[in-house]
Amino acid sequence: MQSSSFYAHHSPWGAYASFCLGFYGRGGGFALSDVHPPDWNVYIGYARPGQLGRLLPFFSGSGRGKGAAAFVGTDPRHDANQMNVLPFQPREITRTMTWAGDTWQAGDLTFRLVTPFGPVPPLETLDEAERRFHLAPAILAEITLDNRSSDEPARLIFAMDGMRRVLSDVTSGALLGAGTGTSVAVACLPTPEAQELLHWDIVEPAFYGEPIINRLGTQGGLVFTVPAGEKRTYTLALATYQGGIVTTGIPARFAYTALFRSVEEVAAYVLEHRERYLALARERDEELERAPLNRYRKFMLAHFTHSYLANTELLMDEQGRLIWVVNEGEYQMMNTFDLTVDQVYWELRYHPWTVRNNLDLFVARYSYTDKVKDREGNLYPGGIAFTHDMCVANHFTPPGHSSYERTNIKGCFSYMSHEQLDNWILTGSLYGLLSGDEGWLREAAPVFRDCLASLVARDRNGDGIMDADSDRCGNSSEITTYDSLDASLGQSRNNLYLAMKTWAAYVCLGRVFRRLGLAAEAAKAEDQAARAAATVASKFIPEEGYIPAVFEGGNTSRIIPAIEGLIYPFMLGDDDAVSPNGRFGRLISALKTHLATVLRPGVCIDATSGGWKLSSTSENTWVSKIILCQYVAERVLGFDFGDRSEEWDRVHASWQTEGCAMQAATDQVWSNTGTDRGSRLYPRLVTAVLWLDQAR
Amino acid sequence: MQSSSFYAHHSPWGAYASFCLGFYGRGGGFALSDVHPPDWNVYIGYARPGQLGRLLPFFSGSGRGKGAAAFVGTDPRHDANQMNVLPFQPREITRTMTWAGDTWQAGDLTFRLVTPFGPVPPLETLDEAERRFHLAPAILAEITLDNRSSDEPARLIFAMDGMRRVLSDVTSGALLGAGTGTSVAVACLPTPEAQELLHWDIVEPAFYGEPIINRLGTQGGLVFTVPAGEKRTYTLALATYQGGIVTTGIPARFAYTALFRSVEEVAAYVLEHRERYLALARERDEELERAPLNRYRKFMLAHFTHSYLANTELLMDEQGRLIWVVNEGEYQMMNTFDLTVDQVYWELRYHPWTVRNNLDLFVARYSYTDKVKDREGNLYPGGIAFTHDMCVANHFTPPGHSSYERTNIKGCFSYMSHEQLDNWILTGSLYGLLSGDEGWLREAAPVFRDCLASLVARDRNGDGIMDADSDRCGNSSEITTYDSLDASLGQSRNNLYLAMKTWAAYVCLGRVFRRLGLAAEAAKAEDQAARAAATVASKFIPEEGYIPAVFEGGNTSRIIPAIEGLIYPFMLGDDDAVSPNGRFGRLISALKTHLATVLRPGVCIDATSGGWKLSSTSENTWVSKIILCQYVAERVLGFDFGDRSEEWDRVHASWQTEGCAMQAATDQVWSNTGTDRGSRLYPRLVTAVLWLDQAR
């Protein structure tokens, strides 16, 4: 990659907690119930006698604590500009991000953050020991010093700002380390080589003097004395614990609080089981390493996985029911359906039961029945629809309401009733037909039926696509998930992207009803799919080789997401549906031509950067959707882009490590500059896991 | 007062929570488990149709939210420099701080924060309803608009940054308001005049348009439509809730969590019982208003009470045992004994059982038995001593250890064994002899006995004062609470201040043992008191009229706290002990002369400001100790300072409202400039409650 200075999340599964690190000249630290990187100085490095200590550049300014001055007044020691250390320069550092890790190597130091992940079986099938393994809200780190070339012992530290206590105060020495409050701890198992640190200015005494435990200190951690001539690795737990009720609307706690009573218990657990965690991480790392993907795709999948995990949150309500939440990066909306439907490929791979959990809560609490209105404002019966999200910032919104949607709003923040109806159908179909959970599919049959009826109610002219808006919009009209991207993608009615997703919803419903033996419903869905396909195909302009983004107002925008909807039939194995020679052949052929037309510099290839832009009329582009559409192009439509493909991947990866380096995984990027535009610290990019299916 | 722009705390009792407000051009908001004023913009004001809205100046910059930009990208509306409002200018504002309140009046607006307090009986004597009344972690506010001169309705708002939800989402409309997380809420009872607000830019729609509930918003609150021609007051609850285990070392929760399940329950409770709370506040306000004190003393007692309450924390451990904590302002040390012994006058007045709670925990967990060493380092048996504090930042330190004291430290952060031994004796004597808790006194007899023995063990030469240091100091020696003030007050051996406190400890012990019928112990204590008195009196230099601060090294510092120890016998009613004609007459006479000598400009009256400085050789002066010594001078020693007294009070009050305006109550002040030097946001100044005894 071009730059190794970028933030990444490092997170356990389902704990809405991460350790953020990676941007040079700035700190990092623990983010709890949030994903914004904090700016706590982090001190990782070593010193040998008579030499200046070396630190990775994860601190800003002098790195000195400010705590002592309040006690003792002006202290000239604190006027010094710098700690007495030599930070590693970027060119001295080799950073390697792997699927379940992130490693910095500099001088004789190797520091690795380890974020093991893998399949999480349904909790009710696990005994308590297994639950603890999967839910422990901690990650591991390994700090290594190769002191073999030295005939003197060296000091090796991991410490950070914001620490207020040493762990031995409460663990009787069974754990060593530092923590703050009841929520955060950095710990290791005791060894004679390890000493705890707590002070205001922690580095200099740890490197050059006697390690200090000053309980008033505001920097804390561990120092290891590595023997002369030895190479040593020490394993750390970076543990979190958010106790008590953390949500409103549905009062709930983190599920892991039923398994662990304190952050020390968490830290002790993961250190005790470190070999199993490390093996799991190794398994993932090797899996990605082996995959036949170019290095940019490997990097992106790893980076995006890190940010997805950071946004995951497994809650338990007061009745003991689990609630699965993926938070929406910087926006903190919870279970935004536009994300759920794109993250489903990840979750079906590792924990399909969380998809069901989301689907069921959308039905039970976040569905509503509306009326629809035509352009003249006449009202007609509507049907079931779903909210855009369930809540924001740990506040569950009231039943039937999202945090995002409001009435009488033009553009952003209006309702997305039709698209979320599509999203439930699509997500439900994938789960119902791919997970093997036949029982759920049968139970959900009435919902699928209601969904079909609701879709049809929104197609008043019988052309298979939406033409009536929900009355929840008030004096406005519905929008799509691409609300903020471009007018070409914002409105729902007569929208190419949404029409294709609706076509896909009908195709999927047809397959669901066939599986359920509901022939009449299946036939209706299939008929609607045919109508939708015909409608979209009819909008193709042969002489120009594209389908306009909106079928009205003389719109001439060219958009890549025209093809997005093709993925759903493909995932269900309906190759005929997506074949130019199949029953929707005219549509598929038109889309292939469309894609070839738009993938040109100055149209949907940014003329400056060379990256994909979703719309010809906007420089706001969304990386997760690029990846999804790349997958459709390559795998579903069979495009072979040759060398262009890797060059595109290189550009897209560079956006993450350069323009968006301070934002961890970023979805909304300016296609010309590669800088972040929105959707920072985002989970949805984990859709990139599709690349692994492609690789099979 | 000179300036009305200064921060104050507004806090319920025992909740370690405050609403901070008062410095112009900056926000404020809720501080939880901390006392530093946050900088959330707070919007309090009104608008009438066709006129610019007016706001109290409790916001900085434009006051605009930044939330929308992340969703919609660059938004030109956010480039505007200012909200469309006219902040009140300082000269338009009248601020009145009362004992249990703080009121701002400007234009037709009156905004009052109400912090009711009063006696808190032992919880075990209260039924649950009474416990809820005393422990509810909320304060009240009253917002009033006089719209009688207007023939149009007006909009009146209370709103702030950092709010993420509306309360009606979870209260079904039984409460209106806004909150964030599970921890903070601003609420009112429903009335047709009230509407909830939540948005990014909350003020303009509330003043000039339609109030908006946008659940993605980051500013929230309430807007009231005040009818034309009416004057209306609305009562708000500013409620907090910190759930779950909040401490380590002794895992404990806030005691109120056993009585309330959520912040909404707290808010509803205080609004329901608002009349009783308002009456209690009125009672306190009137009591202070009636007291025969000058206006500066009234102001200071009120201001200091506000910050004391902000630092109070009533915990309950996992066995249901209560733990009373007063946090030490910016330092966050818990139950620092140097503060406990000075806050005892407040606590004996309102809740003596918390004094006992502290004393017992000091014995059970925060005492130790040391050896003592002479100057040559020879070790001898020592005795019981107590730690400087119990913990810091909600981390209870291990038994027998404070967060402050360390071994082998010269000066600040060394041990204070002797002074804390004095402090237990003095606090214990006041509680044991003044609270009427005879049972406790009898139970504590062995501790008092151990304390006497330990004091004597530290006086190896039999002159009644300390001459041996605890071996806990290692290669260093003991310090006093005035550690950071001046070398003249720092060392314990041969220290005038500590000698007088030790004399007082012996006098008090004598009275305790007499009450317990322990004649031998009483006689020993009385004998030691006589020796101490003789020693100190012998250090008096008649020709210069003072006693040096340290009885060695040719020290010539003059210090006011020479007289501090006199308060203890006086409080126990031992007028003879503090009379120039009593059994310690020579000492008392010397101290009277000493005080008259030092209270001169350039000695212990600052030549620049005219305020008291504790030591002739330091410009670091501590307001709480000034007040304590003023009390001793006036009430115990009978000084009549005439007009000088009120002028001193004026100077001391101005330090709080000017130089220390951003720090709420501040103890350590530079005596020349009146600016803060340390001990910011401090509880100990509540010692000023002594002024009310004086007024009796």
Does the beta-carbon distance from A70 to B330 stay under 8 Å?
yes
Does the beta-carbon distance from A678 to B394 stay under 8 Å?
no
Query: So what's the pLDDT on residue B80?
Result: 43
| Averaged pLDDT score across all residues of chain A | 95
Does the beta-carbon distance from A182 to B393 stay under 8 Å?
no
Q: Which residue has the tokens 């994300």?
A: A339
Nearest-CA residue of chain A relative to B329? A70
Does the beta-carbon distance from B677 to A73 stay under 8 Å?
yes
- Chain B positions in Cβ-Cβ contact with residue A397 (cut-off 8 Å): 169, 215
| Averaged pLDDT score across all residues of chain B | 95
Does the beta-carbon distance from B179 to A403 stay under 8 Å?
no
The rounded distance, in Å, linking the Cα atoms of A37 and A23 is 10
The rounded distance, in Å, linking the Cα atoms of A655 and A2 is 10
Q: Which residues of A touch B (CB under 8 A)?
A: 70-73, 164-165, 169-170, 179-182, 214-216, 243-249, 251, 262, 330-331, 333, 392-395, 397-398, 401-404, 406, 412-413, 484, 620, 677-678, 680
Query: So what's the pLDDT on residue B63?
Result: 61
Does the beta-carbon distance from A403 to B248 stay under 8 Å?
no
Nearest-CA residue of chain A relative to B71? A678
Strands (DSSP E) found in B614-683: 620-622, 668-670, 676-678
Query: So what's the pLDDT on residue A62?
Result: 63
**CA–CA min distance A158, chain B (Å):** 22
Section A543-549 average pLDDT: 96
Three-state secondary-structure class, residue B248: strand
Q: Which of B243, B330, B331 sits opposite A245 (nearest CB)?
A: B243
Query: So what's the pLDDT on residue A77?
Result: 43
Tokens standing for residue B78: 């956010």
**CA–CA min distance B679, chain A (Å):** 7
Query: So what's the pLDDT on residue A78?
Result: 44
Nearest-CA residue of chain A relative to B171? A249
Report which of A506, A502, A501 is spatially closest to residue A563, judged by C-alpha positions. A501
Q: Tell me, what DSSP letter sits at residue A43?
A: E
- Chain B positions in Cβ-Cβ contact with residue A165 (cut-off 8 Å): 248, 392-393, 395
Give yes or no for a contact between A134 and A13, defined as CB atoms under 8 angstroms apart. Answer: yes
Strands (DSSP E) found in A619-666: 620-622
Q: Tell me, what DSSP letter sits at residue B435?
A: S
Section A121-128 average pLDDT: 97
Q: DSSP for A555-600?
A: ----BGGGGGGGHHHHHTT-GGGG-TTSTTHHHHHHHHHHHHHHSS
Three-state secondary-structure class, residue B219: strand
Sheet architecture: strand order including A391-392? A333-334, A391-392, A395-396
Does the beta-carbon distance from B680 to A70 stay under 8 Å?
yes
Nearest-CA residue of chain A relative to B486? A72
Does the beta-carbon distance from B331 to A680 stay under 8 Å?
no
Biggest alpha carbon–alpha carbon distance for chain B: 87
Query: Each residue of A488-527: pLDDT tens digit?
Result: 678 899 999 999 999 999 999 999 999 999 999 999 999 9
Section B594-614 average pLDDT: 97
**CA–CA min distance B396, chain A (Å):** 9
**CA–CA min distance A606, chain B (Å):** 19
pLDDT at B15 over 90: yes
Helices (H) and strands (E) in chain B, counts: 20, 28
Nearest-CA residue of chain A relative to B184? A248
Q: Which of A73, A170, A395 sits opposite B248 (nearest CB)?
A: A170
Query: So what's the pLDDT on residue B674?
Result: 96
Q: Which of A246, A392, A484 sits opposite B164 (nearest CB)?
A: A392
Query: So what's the pLDDT on residue A81?
Result: 47
3-state secondary structure B497-565: HHHHHHHHHHHHHHHHHHHHCCHHHHHHHHHHHHHHHHHHHHCCECCCCECCCECCCCCCCCEHHHHHH
In the chain, the amino acid numbered B171 is T
Give alpha helix (H) positions in B127-255: 128-135, 168-171, 203-208
Query: So what's the pLDDT on residue A489?
Result: 73
Query: So what's the pLDDT on residue A483?
Result: 82
- Compute the half-sphere exposure of residue A294: CA atoms within 13 Å on the CB side of its CA: 14
pLDDT at B493 over 70: yes
Identify from A16, A33, A71, A330 which residue to disrupt to test chain B contact, counting B C-beta atoms within 10 A and taking the largest count. A71
Section B518-524 average pLDDT: 98
- Chain A positions in Cβ-Cβ contact with residue B196 (cut-off 8 Å): none
- Chain A positions in Cβ-Cβ contact with residue B182 (cut-off 8 Å): 244-248, 251, 394
Q: Which residues contact A646 (CB under 8 A, 6 or more apart)?
A: A294, A296
**CA–CA min distance A145, chain B (Å):** 31
The rounded distance, in Å, linking the Cα atoms of B194 and B227 is 12
**ipTM entry:** 0.93
Q: Which of A215, A248, A680 sits opposite B170 (nearest CB)?
A: A248
**CA–CA min distance A680, chain B (Å):** 9
In the chain, the amino acid numbered B345 is Y
Does the beta-carbon distance from B165 to A395 stay under 8 Å?
yes
Query: So what's the pLDDT on residue B83?
Result: 79
Query: Each residue of B370-384: pLDDT tens digit?
Result: 999 998 999 999 999
- Chain B positions in Cβ-Cβ contact with residue A398 (cut-off 8 Å): 169
Q: Which of B182, B216, B248 sits opposite A392 (nearest CB)?
A: B216
Q: Which residue has the tokens 């330090």?
A: B655
- B411 pLDDT tier (thresholds 50, 70, 90): confident
Q: Which of A214, A251, A331 sits opposite B406 (nearest CB)?
A: A214
Q: Which of A165, A406, A412 sits opposite B248 (nearest CB)?
A: A165
pLDDT at A671 over 80: yes
Identify from B395, B397, B406, B412 which residue to disrupt to test chain A contact, counting A C-beta atoms within 10 A and taking the largest count. B395
The rounded distance, in Å, linking the Cα atoms of B68 and A406 is 14
Report which of B500, B469, B466, B498 is spatially closest to residue B483, judged by C-alpha positions. B498
pLDDT at A158 over 60: yes
Does the beta-carbon distance from B170 to A484 stay under 8 Å?
no
Does the beta-carbon distance from B181 to A244 stay under 8 Å?
no
- Chain A positions in Cβ-Cβ contact with residue B262 (cut-off 8 Å): 245, 248, 251
Identify from B36, B75, B169 which residue to disrupt to test chain A contact, counting A C-beta atoms within 10 A and taking the largest count. B169
Three-state secondary-structure class, residue B241: coil
- B76 pLDDT tier (thresholds 50, 70, 90): very low
- Chain B positions in Cβ-Cβ contact with residue A247 (cut-off 8 Å): 182
Query: So what's the pLDDT on residue B486?
Result: 79
Q: Which of A179, A395, A412 sits opposite B169 (nearest CB)?
A: A395
Give yes or no for a contact between B11 and B51, defined as CB atoms under 8 angstroms apart. Answer: no
Does the beta-carbon distance from A251 to B243 stay under 8 Å?
no
- A80 pLDDT tier (thresholds 50, 70, 90): very low
- Chain A positions in Cβ-Cβ contact with residue B167 (cut-off 8 Å): none
Q: Which of B169, B398, B677 sits opposite A397 (nearest CB)?
A: B169
How many C-beta atoms surround the C-beta of residue A50 within 10 A? 7
Section A590-613 average pLDDT: 97
Q: Which of A216, A262, A484 sits opposite B73 (nearest CB)?
A: A484
Query: Each residue of B84-100: pLDDT tens digit?
Result: 899 999 999 999 999 99
- Between chain A and chain B, how many beta carbons pairs sit less than 8 Å apart? 129
B352 φ, ψ (degrees, to nearest 5): -60, -25
Identify from A167, A216, A619, A670 which residue to disrupt to test chain B contact, counting B C-beta atoms within 10 A and taking the largest count. A216
